[in-house]
Amino acid sequence: MDDDLEIKGPGYEPIADEFATYEDYLDSQINSTDVYYLEDVELARQLVELGIRGNGEVIRREEFEQRKEASEQARQARLNKKPKKLASQGKHVEEYPLLQALKDREEAVRNGKLTTIIFIRDKNSKGQEVSGYIDYGHRLKTESMEPYFDRKKRLMPRPSDLSFYNWETQMSTSNPTPNFQVIADNEAGLLFKNKRDRKVINVDPRAKPGDNSTRTELDTTEYLQVVVYDHVTRRRS
């Protein structure tokens, strides 16, 4: 029995895990003789719940629900502790500068030590020049990045990203993400404020990017231009 509990993990609750509903639990306490004489399953359940029928002490509905909830929380906690596989794991992208840069940063971005903004300027599928700033951490959480590392999809800015501009249609959008606030129409130009440590990233190439931030322009033939802004996060004390 101890070995079985160890396999199930901490927080394993035999009754709550074995029975999907409280009614299923009550049914397990009813025998064929009870059904034969009572001729009513609901009545038999009520008698078990009242302790008149059944095998041993019967737990109340409220306690069953509490055990069920606690068991589910323990199960979720065990799942969350499992290390997540990196989307870039095992991918050979050395010949693709942007993908290699994303691979180098993925683990640090996922664990919150680093936030990264990717600026991309290139032609879309319609031949229109577009550019935009992508919150890498937000993309990692909202979509599977593995197709990009497999080169089945091509990373491009979208109207839903931090900032997007279509140079032909002059369509312009900006959106906050869980990591950054967009500060536009500022004398300094476009700025992004990190929501964790409140530090501002300046993406103007003529200016310094800001505290704990770096600007790296990639040498690549895959896009017209790619710039990576890294910000080492500091929690506010």
Residue 226: what pLDDT?
Answer: 98
Residue 210 has pLDDT above 90, yes or no: yes
Count of C-beta atoms within a 10 Å radius of residue 124? 14
Residue 29: what pLDDT?
Answer: 67
Q: Which residues have a Cβ under 8 Å from the Cβ of 141 and sit 6 or more positions away?
A: 178
Helices marked H in the chain: 2-8, 14-18, 22-27, 32-38, 41-49, 61-81, 97-110, 136-142, 146-149
Residue 1 has pLDDT above 60, yes or no: no
Q: What is the pLDDT of residues 101-144, one digit of tens each?
A: 999 999 999 999 999 999 999 999 999 999 999 999 999 999 99
Q: What is the pLDDT of residues 65-89, one digit of tens each?
A: 887 788 778 777 776 666 678 999 9
How confident is residue 237, by pLDDT bands cut at 50, 70 and 90?
Answer: very low
